[in-house]
Structure formats: structure tokens, C-alpha cells
Amino acid sequence: MLLLAFESSCDETSAAVIRNGMVLASVVSSQTKLHAEYGGVVPELAVREHIRNLQPVTNAALAAAGVSAGEIDAVAATQGPGLPAALMVGLKAAQAFAFARRKPFIGIHHHGAHLYSPWISGQPPRAAFGEFQPNVSLIVSGGHTMLVHVESELKHRVLGGTIDDAAGECFDKTGKLMGLAYPAGPIIDRLAEQGNATRYDFPRPLINESNDDFSFSGLKTSVRYFLRDHPALLDDPATMRDLCASIQSAIVDVLVTKTIRAAKRLGVRCVTASGGVTCNRTLRRELLARCQKHGFQLRLADPSLCTDNAAMIGVLADRRLAQAEFANDYDGEIQPGWALV
């Protein structure tokens, strides 16, 4: 089966072609530079870019896969959650494509797709669902932070999530306080590399709580007050690196500690992680060290699949269609607030 998938929930326009679980092509047009000027995603600009880019991105994906539109057997798109008008662009285009060609269409939950993205690996990338193991999965992005118990393939239960800011948001907002460009996560990652993570002691909210929830706004506030009282620290590059390393260490410490604790409590043997913040090298390193210590297998989404992309949407859609899930939802509506349960 040849499947065409779309993703347009936030500021990436993406199309991918999947054949029986294998990613033949995945093209992503990122709008990060466009929104950087405003310090965050501007929905109206995002929508305009999606409309402009969807067709060229789709043509590029089909060309890279070496297939024509007429050969597509099924279509999928992100149905939610996300920015309403942004979701609308990809979903309605996908439904129209499927309807016009009388092909099955399936709407996909964006976080459901992140959840299974760590199982996509290799070159060319393909879904290794044959290797699936029950796991605890950490989804960390600019908009979401959650822990999920994936009991069996396509069956999961959310354990907890952030009660305020997401982890990526914490990277971006504390970065902004330090005068870094948006999105600050990758910049902090880079600066922290040469920094001393023990130089400044920032709070690790909820780290000792037995629940699976997260909270990052207190950490952001603590950084704000600290910088208000020590503004000169930002003028020294070496101190900046230490600040970045210390803030990053607080975020990573909370994420890793709570993920490992949940995995131990639930008795799984596998931990997975996905979403934009999973690009963070210290998070990847710390998760690996702690998983090795406790004998857990670790599956991290490939960095190319951590940030938003249609390949993960297509792989999940392909899997669900292979399991004979009903699909011809040509007029299903966007679900901007669709919660993963």
C-alpha cells in the first residue's frame, strides 16, 4: 500500500510517502526563521505559509519517492491537536485528495504519531513494530510534555503531563530571558556543551513527587529573578555557557528522573522518547545512562523525526490501516484540542 501523509499542525509543512511501513520520502518545510522575528509562532503567518508550501512540498515528496499522485492508495493527515487554521490546511487538502480519487482517508492524532516515532529507524527509515515492547514514553516538545504508558501496540494510557509550561517552552522562554533567539532550545543545547552545569542551582519542580506530572513555570520564574538580580552575568560568554548548562540540567534532570521512576513503577523493560526536545543531546545522553543503569532498553526517535514531520503521521496511519481500521472520514473536522488519553 502506498500512502501519502500530511502534517501542518504548527509551523512545519510536511508531506511523506510511505510504502508498507517504509518511509520512501519525507519533506519538511520549516517556518522557524519566519517566526523567529516574533519570538514565537504567529498563527496567521503559519497558515499563509502552509497554504503556500503544501503543494510544492507534496510534489517534492512524490518526486523523491518516485511515484505519481495516481499511484497513491490511501491518504492521512494530522487531525489534531494544533493551531486550528494550520490543521485545517493539511486536513482539508488531504480529505479533498482522497475524496477526488476515491481513496481511504484517515485522520491522525499528532501525539499518537510522536508516541510511535521511536519505532521508526534505519535507512531508508521503516517502522520496526515487530520489535515493539511495552514501554513508558516521554513526549517533549514546544507545546507538550507528557508521560505515556504504551501497554501494547496502538494501546496506550497517558500517565501525566505538564500543569503549566512545556519543557520546550521552558527552554525557549528562559532562552529569551537570556537574550537568545527563538527557538532557544537548540542554542542552549549548543552553549551548554562547554558550560558547567553545577555552577548555578535552579529548582527541579515536582522531581520528588510520586505523580507523573510536570511543571516548568516555577523554573522559568526562578531564572527571571536570578537574572534580574545578576544582569551582568549575561555579558560574559563563559558565564552564559554555565547558565545554559545549569538551566538545561534542571530541565533534563526532571524529565529523566520522572520517566525512569514511572518505568520502574509500571514494570516495563523499555523507555522511549520523542518530540522536538528529544533532539537535546544532554537529554539523550542522560536517558541512555539511566536506562543502562536500570536495565531498560531505550528507543529515542531519530533527531530527523523528533520535530514535526509527516513521516510519523504516515507510519501510524499505515499501521492502523493495515489493522483494518475504518477510514473514509472525508468530512471529519479538525480537533485543535484533541487530548491524548
Residues near ligand KG4 (CB under 6 A) are 10, 141-143, 168, 171-172, 183-186, 189, 275-277, 279-280, 307-308
Shortest Å distance, C-beta 111 to ligand KG4: 9
Nearer to Zn ion, 21 or 82 (CB): 82
- Is the dihedral angle over the CA atoms 194, 198, 202, 205 positive or is it negative? positive
- Percent composition of the chain: helix, strand, coil (DSSP 3-state, to 5): 50, 20, 30
Nearest distance from C-beta of residue 314 to Zn ion, angstroms: 15
The residue among 141 and 248 lying less far from Zn ion, judged by its C-beta, is: 141
Stretch that binds Zn ion, among 75-83, 139-147, 262-270, 309-317 (CB under 5 A): 139-147
Torsion of CA 287, 289, 295, 296, to 10 degrees: 20
Closer CB to ligand KG4, residue 7 or residue 212?
A: 7
- Site of grid cell 513555570: 217
Report the distance separating Cα 339 and Cα 186, nearest Å: 27
- Our CB check for ligand KG4 shows the closer of 73 and 193 to be 193
Minimum gap (Å) between residue 264 Cβ and ligand KG4 = 25
Sign of CA dihedral 283, 255, 184, 46: positive
Residue, CB closest to ligand KG4: 276
CB of 285 to ligand KG4, least distance (A): 12
Stretch that binds Zn ion, among 46-54, 136-144, 211-219, 294-302 (CB under 5 A): 136-144
Residue 107, contacted partner among ligand KG4, Zn ion, none, CB below 5-8 A by kind: none
Q: How far apart are CA 245 and CA 200, in angstroms?
A: 9
Q: Is 282 in the site for Zn ion (CB under 5 A)?
A: no
**Nearest distance from residue 241's CB to ligand KG4, in Å?**
15
Out of Zn ion, ligand KG4, none, what residue 185 binds, judged by CB under 5 to 8 A for its kind, is ligand KG4
Among candidate residues 93, 56, 58, the one with its CA nearest the CA of residue 77: 93
How many Cβ atoms sit within 10 Å of the Cβ of residue 55? 12
Please check whether residue 14 is in contact with residue 8, taking contact to mean a CB–CB distance below 8 angstroms. Answer: yes
User: Least distance from C-beta 150 to ligand KG4, angstroms?
Assistant: 18
For the CB of residue 78, give the shortest distance to ligand KG4 in the complex, in Å. Answer: 11
C-alpha 245/C-alpha 222 separation (Å) is 15
How many CB atoms neighbour CB 2 within 10 A? Answer: 16
Q: How far apart are CA 236 and CA 259, in angstroms?
A: 35
Residue 174 to residue 217: CA distance in whole angstroms: 10
Asked if 141 touches Zn ion (CB under 5 A), the answer is yes
Which of ligand KG4, Zn ion, none lies near 186, with the C-beta cut-off 5 to 8 A by kind? Answer: ligand KG4
Q: Which residue number, 141 or 280, has a Cβ lying nearer to Zn ion? A: 141
